[in-house]
Structure formats: C-alpha cells, structure tokens
Chain A
Amino acid sequence: DAGVIQSPRHEVTEMGQEVTLRCKPISGHNSLFWYRQTMMRGLELLIYFNNNVPIDDSGMPEDRFSAKMPNASFSTLKIQPSEPRDSAVYFCASRTVPQETQYFGPGTRLLVL
C-alpha cells in the first residue's frame, strides 16, 4: 500500500493567496483527519471526516480555512486568503472504523510570506 499521500510536499506563497492542500487516504479507510503542526502549538486537530462527512471541525481556526471530502479517496484543505501565521506543517491521517490507529501522511510544509 502506498500509504497516505499528500501534495504538494512544500508550498511557498504570498500573503493573500489561496492555498489548497490535497490528501489521498489509504484505500479502505473510512476516517480522515487534518492536523496542523507548529513549534508553538504542537499538533492540532483541525477537522475530522467519517465516511466523507465532516464530524468535528472545532479545530478549524477561522473562516479562512475550509475542508472538503468529495469522495472516499480525496480530501482538500483550503486557506483563503492565506496569512503568514498559517505557516506550518499540515498533516493528513486516515484510519479504518473502528480501528483506532491513525496513519499519517508525510505532510505539506507551508510557508506564507
């Protein structure tokens, strides 16, 4: 299995631009998670999907952030407009239900100038 796939691996953009991060979960996994990792705040859960339906988006910081999961094999996290404080590593993870282990992708390193 290829594992969780994220793209791009690195993104550099200017403040105000739209950023779209992509994730392909492991085939057969029913749940998908988006996390953000920064030095100051550590790992934060942004949003969680179960069977393509958003279950908990309480971690989404602002309306500038949105996430979708149009089908079981693809999810996006969009930031519009982006700000320098959004600079972080964004991870996607997936798991089967009710299996508890989450499998993480390699992350997208975002730098907003």
Chain B
Amino acid sequence: AQSVTQLGSHVSVSEGALVLLRCNYSSSVPPYLFWYVQYPNQGLQLLLKYTSAATLVKGINGFEAEFKKSETSFHLTKPSAHMSDAAEYFCAVSDRDSGGSNYKLTFGKGTLLTVNP
C-alpha cells in the first residue's frame, strides 16, 4: 500500500515569506500526486496534481510543486505567503487498481499553515 508523509503538522510563516510544505511518498509504481487545501469548515479543494507529465506543476493561488522521483518527494511551495493562504494542506497519492484506472487516494496527516501579519 502506498503512504504519504507530511513533515511538520504546523508551519508558521510571515506574510510575504516563502511557503514550503513537505511531502514524501512511498510508491512501487509511478504515482499520481495531489495537493489539496482545506479552509476552516469547508471541504477539500484541489490545488494541483502531478500525473507524470511535467515535473514542475503549477496550481491555483500561486502554488506550485515539484515531483522528484529520486527523493520520492512532492513539496509544495509559494514564493510569497498571503494571509488568505492560512489553511490546512493535504498531500495525497493515488493507488492504482488492477485495471490501471487510479481510484483511491491515500492522504497525509495534513499541515496547518499559519500566516502572521
């Protein structure tokens, strides 16, 4: 089974500072990888996804993530944090079924991002 590790359950940055949220995965096959964001009392919203095309993936709200196979990592970054970025961020890897149609997401524990003025 695949697994996802998010280093740091809580990250705090100042407004305007670099955001770096770490995600490492375990997978025996090329994975599909996702970052989701959850604002308070809301569902999860897709930020970006990697599906074996370009290794640098750009998402919404200025976020991007780089797939590094050698490091089994998919870290999320944003050059300049904004107050509205405060939320919980989840990294997820997709398990493929025998038919080859990716169907199940395994989520990391999440990282709560706090942005200080």
Select A50's contact among B44, B94, B103, beta carbons within 8 Å.
B103
Q: Which of B12-20, B21-29, B64-72, B104-112 contacts A (4 or more CB under 8 A)?
A: B104-112
Across the two chains, which residue of chain A brings its CB closest to B109? A42
B43 with A107: CB separation less than 8 A: yes
Residues A98 and B101 in contact, CB atoms below 8 Å apart: yes
Chain B interface helix/strand/loop/mixed: strand
Q: When each residue 93-113 of chain A gets 1 if its CB lies under 8 Å from chain B and 0 otherwise, what string results? A: 100011011111111010000
Cα of A83 to Cα of B104 in the assembled complex, Å:
27
Is A53 on the interface with B (CB-CB < 8 A)? no
**Nearest-Cβ distance from residue A51 to partner chain B, whole angstroms:** 12
- Please name all residues of chain A whose beta carbon is closer than 8 Å to the beta carbon of B41 when the two chains form the complex: 109
Which chain B residues lie closer than 8 Å to A43 at the CB level?
Answer: 90, 107, 110
Cβ < 8 Å to A, chain B residues 3-52: 32, 34, 36, 41-46, 49, 51
Q: How large is the interface on A (under 10, 10 to 19, 20 to 34, 35 or more residues)?
A: 20 to 34
Assuming the contacts A43-B90, A103-B46, A104-B43, asked whether A98 and B105 have C-beta atoms less than 8 A apart, the reply is no
Docked-complex contact B43 and A100, CB < 8 angstroms:
no
Interface set of B (CB-CB < 8 Å, partner A): 32, 34, 36, 41-46, 49, 51, 90, 94, 97, 101-110
Q: List 20 A-B contacts (CB under 8 A).
A: A4-B43, A33-B105, A42-B108, A42-B110, A43-B90, A43-B110, A48-B103, A56-B103, A56-B104, A98-B102, A100-B49, A100-B51, A100-B94, A101-B34, A101-B49, A103-B46, A105-B43, A106-B43, A107-B43, A109-B41
